[in-house]
Amino acid sequence: MTKEAIIKEFETIAGAENVMTGETDRHAYSYDAAVLDSVMPALVVRPRTSEVLGAVTKLCNDNGLPLTVRGAGTNLSGGTIPHPGGVVVLTNGLNRILEINEADMYAVVEPGVVTAQFAAEVAKRGLFYPPDPGSQAVSTLGGNVAENAGGLRGLKYGVTKDYVMGMDFWDVNGELVKTGSRTVKCVTGYNLAGLMVASEGTLGVFDKIILKLVPPAQAAKSMMAVFPSMKAASETVASIIANKIVPATLEMMDNFTIRTVENFRGAGLPVDAAALLLIEVDGHPGQVADEAAVVERICKENGATELHVAKDAAERDAVWQARRDALPALANLKPTCVLEDATVPRSKIPAMIEALEEIAKKLDLTIGTFGHAGDGNLHPTILTDKRNKEEWERVEKGIDMIFDKALSMGGTLSGEHGIGLAKSKYLAQETSKATLAYARRMKSVLDPKGILNPDKIVGAE
Amino acid sequence: MTKEAIIKEFETIAGAENVMTGETDRHAYSYDAAVLDSVMPALVVRPRTSEVLGAVTKLCNDNGLPLTVRGAGTNLSGGTIPHPGGVVVLTNGLNRILEINEADMYAVVEPGVVTAQFAAEVAKRGLFYPPDPGSQAVSTLGGNVAENAGGLRGLKYGVTKDYVMGMDFWDVNGELVKTGSRTVKCVTGYNLAGLMVASEGTLGVFDKIILKLVPPAQAAKSMMAVFPSMKAASETVASIIANKIVPATLEMMDNFTIRTVENFRGAGLPVDAAALLLIEVDGHPGQVADEAAVVERICKENGATELHVAKDAAERDAVWQARRDALPALANLKPTCVLEDATVPRSKIPAMIEALEEIAKKLDLTIGTFGHAGDGNLHPTILTDKRNKEEWERVEKGIDMIFDKALSMGGTLSGEHGIGLAKSKYLAQETSKATLAYARRMKSVLDPKGILNPDKIVGAE
């Protein structure tokens, strides 16, 4: 088919108003939140029904057109950067919550539903959807599943993976595959829903997703503890976990991040603190009281100089707003902001913090460190200007050193941001050549023409 | 190679003392706990190291020998019945707990570690491994992962899937694939560990498994509630969940099961009760007290005639022993015992109970019903004699009717027993032809000669 004939075909299937070929539109979907070069797609299409989504998939496959599904494009690893000349499939026309079942505690959603909007709807029915990635205000549930998005509550509540009960997805031929169930136990066939999680759109195109819901905690207490050193703060984290307290959230900020956040919003953070821990325990009121007391004791034993307990919802919100400001505040400082997510077993947090400080010093880099300390999932954030070649080389060296360090501690390259284009070259280093080969064999048979989000995760062969 | 040469090769790799070819040995591994015909393997091998396991896998593939890995053979769907002329690989020589990491709350185990022994070791370190399949006293962790074993605690704590953080496995070529991590967050590459769960040994041979551990509950309260009808008991179940109480365990027994269990052990169960609920709430002491009070109220509102609260650990153990006796007691009654595990969304439990009673009546079958009511995962157990052809036909009809009913309620064919050989013919009925085709494509490329536990899950093509 000629290019014009193919565009015509997309228009017939999806409606002319849902097919965009203009340069401005294509440019808008040529990049995502990763620090990578943008790539112009040939065409952008917005399916508004499940059937159209399947037909678009089939059309792409029939014509060998690379297809990249895009939710909000907030991912940080290039998972939604299109392939040159490919098709971007938007999910924002598929944004209906199809069912929230209170009695059986699950929901069925289309992939384009916005995470925070979904969580709010669920909360209205007296239930709780825990995964809360940093981008939740705009990110979509389909994108969250594709990247296995984490968030602040991973420590106690797990990540997106832990809430996917089942899914329908379109295979590359435009046939509907069904996996998982509305039941809390299901072992009927391969765990394809589990395989879809974190697959970044390379093995199928998500249709309906069945998500697990849980009862909300009855009570919660948020605290902010001030430490004289990152070492003291990080040892506190390890000690809290070792004492078998599992806070809902256990976040850390270094002095650089604290000062940057304070300049950004002026929330009254202690700008002289070497480190902050932001901690929330939740559950039964009795448990919250007991756990808060233990956390308080451990903080003091590890040298906390101040401990503020949020007195009401407004103070609690302020604590978490400060944490959520970390990335935008840091990103504001310099033209390029590289947010990493190398992750280590939790007890290795103190050693990792030390290593990050050494790397920053050795390479003369500006690294702000904050993140999900309770998960071992730190976000060392390198502030730079990619146009400065000499500095960028040091940044790349720094990233390599961070990865090496995390792996040497039994950690992983990516806790929650995904592999995408950005980290595929490191995959075999963490796993093995056989692992990459196994993944590529699987990909080759499930997507023989290689049209499903090419090069993501497994790289170009 | 000749048969003798191949045996010689196995002996060279694994040691002659670990290769069994005698008829008695082969017979011992020709069947499992499913009601299916036994199949004699050609050879049984017991690798004692990870490297031998990999070499055995490669040898089988090189020679096109069907390979079935076997833990304790307790699965109920034929997942460990060997292929005619194939090789059974025992994991009981790979039964070391390699690491229990208290600070980071994970363990690394070999696949042949016995579930209950592992749980006990974990408990000694003050941690908790929740999955507790009925066969836990003998079942292996590798088998649990292969079948995604459930158990009594699925309701609150999830199933085996929820505890697999990562895994090394041997691909069919004898190359080691590594997936997942010791970190609580990891998105490095495809979620192959998730894919391995419930894959019944058809996609790879499990080596080391990384399992998540959690802090144990501080307190627990076990209760037994007596009901005048299964309807009242099942409505109580739905009501407890709808009231946002998630008990650790919420089990049900019908009158037939109660009487059978009482005859089996004489534990003092109320033999005139139409139905029993066995309930345990756990967590912070305050939470346990509050939840127990709500459960008690709901039981009474739904017509419970008696409610016994276990006063101490001995009484608590007696409650759960009675529940664990259900299957052996029922299995004792008749030559053939068909234990099903069709599962429905929890709110559909009352309707499912009604349907089971109708099916038993209509087909004149003896069905004892017990199981994980809180999960929607009942175990209707048909007592029969497979040699009685006329009755066996009615049993098969009954099984079909149970599946149809579960599917019509949005349920699934198998909550926790797996597909194996027993249910592969039903797979496309629950999912779709495209789902089966997708699974078969994947299997065909990851195991081109089809040697990894042939015909399980996807059936013979």
Cβ separation A161–B444 shorter than 8 A:
no
User: Is there a single domain that holds both residue A204 and residue A259?
Assistant: no
pLDDT of residue B461: 72
Q: Which of A38, A65, A90 is the last residue of a domain?
A: A90
Q: Which of B184, B311, B327, B87 is nearest to A345 (CA)?
A: B184
- The Cα A30–Cα A42 span in angstroms is 10
Residue B267 maps to a domain:
yes
- Determine which of B122, B173, B187, B452 to mutate to test the interface with A (most A C-beta atoms within 10 Å): B187
3-state SS, residue A382: strand
- Chain A residues within 8 A of B413 when measuring between CB atoms: 188
What CATH number is given to the structural domain containing A172? 3.30.465.10
pLDDT greater than 90 at residue A460: no
Is the ipTM here above 0.85? yes
User: Is there a single domain that holds both residue A134 and residue A206?
Assistant: yes
User: Is there a single domain that holds both residue A251 and residue A367?
Assistant: yes
Q: Which of A150, A238, A438 sits opposite B103 (nearest CB)?
A: A238
User: Is there a single domain that holds both residue A81 and residue A227?
Assistant: no
- For residue B356, the distance in angstroms to the closest alpha carbon of chain A comes to 18
- The Cα A290–Cα A288 span in angstroms is 6
User: Is there a single domain that holds both residue B251 and residue B202?
Assistant: no
HSE-up (13 A, CA, CB side) for residue B352? 38
Looking at the DSSP assignment, which residues form a beta bridge with residue A112? Answer: none
Q: Which of B214, B215, B211, B213 is nearest to B98 (CA)?
A: B211
Phi, psi of B418 (to 5 degrees): 90, 170
User: Is there a single domain that holds both residue A145 and residue A171?
Assistant: yes
Cβ separation A412–B186 shorter than 8 A:
yes
- Number of Cβ pairs closer than 8 Å across A and B? 291
pLDDT of residue B373: 93
- Other C-beta atoms closer than 10 Å to the C-beta of A279 total 31
- Chain A residues within 8 A of B352 when measuring between CB atoms: none
Q: Which of B161, B177, B290 sits opposite A191 (nearest CB)?
A: B161
What's the pLDDT tens digit per position in B5-14? 999 999 999 9
Rounded to a whole number of angstroms, the distance between the first and last alpha carbons of chain B is 27
Residue A183 maps to a domain:
yes
State mean pLDDT over A186-201: 97
pLDDT of residue B257: 96
- Determine which of A187, A423, A425 to mutate to test the interface with B (most B C-beta atoms within 10 Å): A187
Q: Which of A191, A212, A233 is the last residue of a domain?
A: A212
User: Is there a single domain that holds both residue A79 and residue A102?
Assistant: no
Q: Which of B185, B438, B446 sits opposite A150 (nearest CB)?
A: B185
Cβ separation B177–A432 shorter than 8 A:
yes
- Chain B residues within 8 A of A441 when measuring between CB atoms: 445-446
- Chain B residues within 8 A of A413 when measuring between CB atoms: 188
HSE-up (13 A, CA, CB side) for residue A12? 8
The domain total for chain B is 3
Rounded to a whole number of angstroms, the distance between the first and last alpha carbons of chain A is 27
Q: Which of B214, B242, B412 sits opposite A188 (nearest CB)?
A: B412
Pairing of strands A306-309, A249-254: unpaired
What CATH number is given to the structural domain containing A241? 3.40.462.40
- Chain B residues within 8 A of A105 when measuring between CB atoms: 241
State mean pLDDT over A266-272: 90
* Cα nearest neighbour of A410 on chain B: B182
- For residue A234, the distance in angstroms to the closest alpha carbon of chain B comes to 14
- For residue A268, the distance in angstroms to the closest alpha carbon of chain B comes to 31
- For residue A23, the distance in angstroms to the closest alpha carbon of chain B comes to 33
Phi, psi of B267 (to 5 degrees): -90, 0
B52: which 2 tokens?
């031998």
3-state SS, residue B222: strand
- Chain B residues within 8 A of A184 when measuring between CB atoms: 154-155, 346, 375-377
Residue B389 maps to a domain:
yes
Cβ separation B413–A188 shorter than 8 A:
yes
Residue B419 maps to a domain:
no
Q: Which of A429, A348, A380, A403 is nearest to B106 (CA)?
A: A348
A439: which 2 tokens?
């993944």
Q: Which of A261, A260, A240 is nearest to A249 (CA)?
A: A240
User: Is there a single domain that holds both residue B177 and residue B48?
Assistant: no
Amino acid at B194: G
Cβ separation B176–A343 shorter than 8 A:
no
Contact B74, B138 (CB under 8 A): yes
Cβ separation B190–A198 shorter than 8 A:
yes
Tell me which H or E stretch contains A71.
none
| Confidence band of A140 (pLDDT split at 50, 70, 90) | very high
Residue span of the structural domain in which B163 resides: 97-212
- For residue A181, the distance in angstroms to the closest alpha carbon of chain B comes to 7
The strands making up A219-227's β-sheet, listed across from edge to edge, are A306-309, A219-227, A275-283, A249-254, A366-372, A377-384, A336-339
State how far the alpha carbon of A213 is from the alpha carbons of A25, A246, A347, B246, in Å. Answer: 36, 20, 30, 12
Going by the DSSP 8-state scheme, the letter that residue B324 receives in this structure is: H
Q: Which of B408, B431, B456 is the last residue of a domain?
A: B408
- Chain A residues within 8 A of B177 when measuring between CB atoms: 431-432, 434-435, 438
* Cα nearest neighbour of B442 on chain A: A442
What CATH number is given to the structural domain containing B47? 3.30.43.10
* Cα nearest neighbour of A190 on chain B: B199
The whole-chain average pLDDT of chain A stands at 95
Cβ separation A414–B188 shorter than 8 A:
yes
- For residue B266, the distance in angstroms to the closest alpha carbon of chain A comes to 32
Residue B445 maps to a domain:
no
- For residue A25, the distance in angstroms to the closest alpha carbon of chain B comes to 31
The angle formed by the CA atoms of residues A211, A326 and A218, to the nearest 5 degrees, is 45
Residue A417 maps to a domain:
no
Q: Is the model more confident about A106 or about A313?
A: A106
Residue B430 maps to a domain:
no
What's the pLDDT tens digit per position in B220-238? 999 999 999 999 999 999 9
Cβ separation A418–B187 shorter than 8 A:
yes
- Chain A residues within 8 A of B250 when measuring between CB atoms: none
User: Is there a single domain that holds both residue B152 and residue B76?
Assistant: no
- For residue A310, the distance in angstroms to the closest alpha carbon of chain B comes to 23
- Determine which of A427, A438, A458 to mutate to test the interface with B (most B C-beta atoms within 10 Å): A438
CA dihedral B100, B101, B107, B110 (to 10 degrees): -50
Cβ separation B190–A444 shorter than 8 A:
no
| In A31-189, beta strands by DSSP E | 43-45, 67-70, 87-90, 97-101, 106-109, 164-170, 176-180
- For residue B412, the distance in angstroms to the closest alpha carbon of chain A comes to 6
pLDDT of residue B369: 95
- Other C-beta atoms closer than 10 Å to the C-beta of B143 total 32
Residue A248 maps to a domain:
yes
pLDDT of residue B242: 87
pLDDT of residue B266: 86
- Determine which of A184, A340, A409 to mutate to test the interface with B (most B C-beta atoms within 10 Å): A184
pLDDT of residue A2: 87
Contact A337, A330 (CB under 8 A): yes
pLDDT of residue B280: 96
User: Is there a single domain that holds both residue A226 and residue A201?
Assistant: no
Question: How do the pLDDT tens digits run along chain B, 461 residues long?
Answer: 888 999 999 999 999 999 999 999 999 999 999 999 999 999 999 999 999 999 999 999 999 999 999 999 999 999 999 999 999 999 999 999 999 999 999 999 999 999 999 999 999 999 999 999 999 999 999 999 999 999 999 989 999 999 999 999 999 999 999 999 999 899 999 999 999 999 999 999 999 999 999 999 999 999 999 999 999 999 999 999 989 999 999 999 999 999 999 999 888 899 999 999 999 999 999 999 999 999 999 999 999 999 999 999 898 888 889 999 999 999 999 999 999 999 999 899 999 999 999 999 999 999 999 999 999 999 999 999 999 999 999 999 999 999 999 999 999 999 999 999 999 999 998 999 999 999 999 999 999 999 999 999 999 87
What's the pLDDT tens digit per position in A200-214? 999 999 999 999 999
- For residue B377, the distance in angstroms to the closest alpha carbon of chain A comes to 7
User: Is there a single domain that holds both residue A138 and residue A166?
Assistant: yes
User: Is there a single domain that holds both residue B374 and residue B267?
Assistant: yes
